[in-house]
Amino acid sequence: MIVYHGSEKKIERPINKGSRKGTDFGSGFYCTKSLLMAKSWCALRNGQYVNKYDLDLTNLKVKEYNLDLEWLIFVCYNRSNIDISIENQDYDVIIGPTADDKLYRTVQNFLDNVYSVDETLNILNCMKIDKQINLVSKKALKNLKFLGVVELTLKEIFNIKENEMLNLSTLNNKVFKARRTSNKDVYYIDLQEK
For the segment 116-147, what is each residue's pLDDT rounded down to a tens digit? 888 888 888 877 788 999 999 999 999 999 99
Domain that holds residue 10: 2-155+162-192
pLDDT of 192 > 70? The answer is no
pLDDT of residue 194: 47
Edge-to-edge, what's the strand order for the sheet holding 93-97? Answer: 29-31, 131-135, 93-97, 62-64
Q: End-to-end CA distance of the chain: give it in Å, rounded.
A: 40
Percent of the chain beyond pLDDT 90? 30
Whether the Cβ atoms of residue 35 and residue 4 lie closer than 8 Å to each other = yes
Q: Which segments of 27-92 are extended strands (E)? A: 29-31, 49-55, 62-64
How does the average pLDDT of the chain come out, rounded? Answer: 82
Please give the model's pTM, rounded to 2 decimal places: 0.81
How many structural domains is the chain composed of? 1
The pLDDT of residue 103 is above 90? no
